[in-house]
């Protein structure tokens, strides 16, 4: 709509025919019933629309030379993956790509392909359009990096990624490469593991988290380890959130190691022996739960998100829940073996650490909010003639620091008036078995625990009050006399019965 303004023409009030001198300004008066401005309204003029040529968004494969059945199925899975997320109707999924890997490995040692969306003008026939794959791939949005190593020394590398281009279309890439020659057993082991990791990838892209839920799909007869990294772009922070697992078996040291990190910055590092003191020993659920309760306690102290708590619990249980069995009488064991099985915790020796991200006080940078938990079990055996001494030592250390009633994420708003809390807990349990030949001479259980807490109160970043206190407890039990009374002819049952309490409550309670 157009509005134009015009000045009003004025008429002198005196109607006389006399004319004022040319140099004199006329005397004018505005009539009250006449407007000072004339408003003219004209209809709006429509601007001609800019013509946009209709286009069709079509997906094209870069390489159509792969002729094998598995390769063609992978091509279709790649096209399907891109179609699935088109218009944001579904998150990225990698399981149907990963499920093709074992079959793909039987056909070829290398596969690389890319599917890209193109805007094809409607006047051009889709089958006549020539796609240009040389243009930049744009912003990386999701990616998966997976490397596996077999016990024979073969290496397998898999990569998946999706990028977005400035015009809103997507590019998706997938590659598979084998260094070496895979056996049939390795192909089967690979297929089982890829099903698991593919499902984990789908879970991550749906919820930013995922869990191992055990390693029963990992065939250690063929797979020596893997490195699995998942990433997703977070536009809110212009950074990538990442979840990772690295698992490996060291045949020389006879150990297995799991290192993992989640999107919130929590880190897990666990190394265990591949064998136990007594292979016939049973890990009771109560003992495993005692360790899980300790991890949950540490997570609570650091105000860990629920997803990070589950992540740490899952990582630990994934390495040990395979040892869980019902305690039953073992047939065909010697008395020495039966006594060792009754004494053993049922867990292989291990060391484990759990760490939270570190949050600094912006006004006092050396003060941090953080959590660190370490746990371990070590077993030592000494043999002198017929005399044997076995010591199984279990311990943990937990240290954490925090700002009272202030969540870690809110430290930028902390200010100079606050209370800073530092706490350290530690506990150790030693179980000692003395035997001569196949006879148990004595059994000891020694437990101790300590806690130290410091509370520092600051005003305008100056320390104005300090409060410190500590607590400790120690217990020692010797069972020589009870061993004689309980069952002189079936001592392994007596050993098992006497140790049940210390296995269920592995540490003195400080929580």
pLDDT one-digit tens code per residue, 69-126 = 999 999 999 999 898 887 667 889 999 999 999 999 999 999 999 999 998 988 888 8
Under 8 Å CB-to-CB from 325, ≥6 apart: which residues?
A: 282, 283
What pLDDT is recorded for position 330?
A: 58
Residue 62: which H helix or E strand, with range?
Answer: none
Q: Does the pLDDT value for residue 17 go beyond 50? A: no
Closest by CA position to 394, among listed 283, 279, 248, 260: 283
What pLDDT is recorded for position 35?
A: 45
Over residues 340-381, the pLDDT tens digits come to 999 999 999 999 999 999 999 999 999 999 999 999 999 999
Q: Does the pLDDT value for residue 287 go beyond 70? A: yes
Q: Does the pLDDT value for residue 253 go beyond 70? A: yes
Q: Among the listed ranges 208-212, 227-231, 485-489, which one has the minimum average pLDDT value? A: 485-489
Backbone angles phi and psi of 219, in degrees to 5: -90, 100
| 391 token code pair | 């010591």
| Whole-number Å distance between alpha carbons of 257 and 396 | 19
The proportion of the chain whose per-residue pLDDT surpasses 70, expressed as a percent, equals 87
The mean per-residue pLDDT over the stretch 180-194 comes to 96
C-alpha 117 chain-centroid distance: 31
Residue of 163 and 284 predicted with greater confidence: 163
Answer yes or no: are the C-beta atoms of 403 and 458 closer than 8 Å.
Answer: no
pTM as predicted:
0.86
| Whole-number Å distance between alpha carbons of 208 and 228 | 15
Average pLDDT taken over every residue of the chain: 88
Q: Does the pLDDT value for residue 24 go beyond 60? A: no
What pLDDT is recorded for position 123?
A: 82
Q: CA angle, 252 as apex, 246 and 255 as ends, to 5°?
A: 45
Q: Does the pLDDT value for residue 275 go beyond 70? A: yes
| Most confident of the ranges 161-170, 220-229, 283-292 | 220-229
User: Residue 127 — pLDDT band, cuts 50, 70, 90?
Assistant: confident
What pLDDT is recorded for position 501?
A: 81
What pLDDT is recorded for position 249?
A: 96
Alpha-carbon distances, residue 476 vs 215, 252, 396, 432, 441 (angstroms): 38, 38, 18, 11, 17
């Amino acid at each position: 709509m157009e509005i134009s303004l015009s000045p009003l023409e004025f008429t002198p009030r005196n109607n006389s025919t006399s004319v004022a001198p040319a140099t004199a300004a006329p005397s004018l008066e505005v009539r009250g019933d006449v407007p000072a401005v004339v408003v003219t309204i004209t209809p709006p003029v429509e601007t001609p629309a800019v013509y946009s040529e209709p286009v069709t968004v079509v997906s094209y494969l870069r390489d159509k030379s792969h002729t094998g059945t598995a390769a063609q199925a992978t091509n279709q899975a790649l096209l399907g993956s891109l179609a699935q997320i088109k218009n944001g109707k579904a998150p990225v999924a990698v399981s149907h790509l990963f499920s093709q890997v074992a079959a793909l490995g039987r056909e070829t040692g290398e596969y690389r392909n890319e599917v890209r969306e193109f805007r094809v003008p409607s006047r051009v026939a889709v089958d006549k359009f020539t796609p240009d794959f040389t243009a930049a791939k744009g912003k990386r949005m999701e990616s998966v990096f997976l490397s596996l190593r077999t016990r024979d020394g073969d290496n397998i590398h898999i990569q998946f990624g999706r990028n977005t281009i400035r015009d809103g279309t997507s590019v998706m890439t997938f590659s598979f490469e084998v260094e070496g020659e895979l056996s049939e057993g390795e192909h089967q082991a690979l297929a089982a593991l890829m099903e698991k990791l593919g499902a984990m990838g789908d879970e991550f892209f749906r919820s930013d988290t995922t869990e191992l839920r055990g390693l029963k799909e990992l065939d250690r007869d063929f797979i020596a380890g893997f490195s699995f990294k998942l990433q997703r772009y977070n536009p809110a922070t212009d950074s990538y959130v990442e979840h990772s697992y690295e698992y490996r078996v060291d045949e020389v040291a006879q150990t297995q190691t799991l290192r993992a990190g989640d999107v919130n910055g929590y880190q897990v590092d666990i190394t265990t022996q591949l064998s136990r003191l007594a292979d016939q020993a049973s890990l009771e659920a109560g003992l495993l739960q005692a360790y899980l309760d300790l991890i949950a306690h540490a997570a609570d102290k650091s105000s860990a998100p629920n997803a990070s708590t589950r992540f740490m619990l899952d990582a630990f249980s994934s390495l040990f829940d395979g040892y869980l069995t019902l305690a039953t009488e073992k047939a065909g064991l010697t008395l020495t073996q039966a006594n060792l099985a009754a004494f053993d915790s049922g867990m292989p020796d291990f060391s484990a650490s759990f760490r939270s991200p570190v949050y600094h006080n912006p006004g006092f940078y050396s003060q941090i909010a953080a959590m660190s938990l370490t746990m371990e079990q070590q077993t030592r055996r000494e043999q002198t003639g017929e005399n044997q001494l076995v010591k199984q030592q279990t311990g943990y250390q937990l240290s954490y620091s925090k700002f009272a009633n202030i969540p870690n994420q809110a430290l930028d708003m902390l200010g100079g008036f606050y209370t800073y809390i530092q706490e350290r807990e530690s506990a150790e349990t030693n179980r000692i078995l003395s035997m001569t030949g196949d006879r148990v001479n004595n059994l000891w259980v020694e437990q101790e625990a300590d806690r130290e807490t410091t509370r520092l109160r600051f005003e305008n970043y100056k320390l104005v009050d300090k409060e410190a206190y500590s607590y400790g407890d120690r217990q020692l039990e010797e069972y020589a006399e009870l061993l004689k009374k309980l069952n002189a002819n079936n001592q392994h049952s007596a050993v098992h019965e006497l140790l049940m309490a210390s296995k269920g409550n592995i540490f003195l309670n400080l929580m």
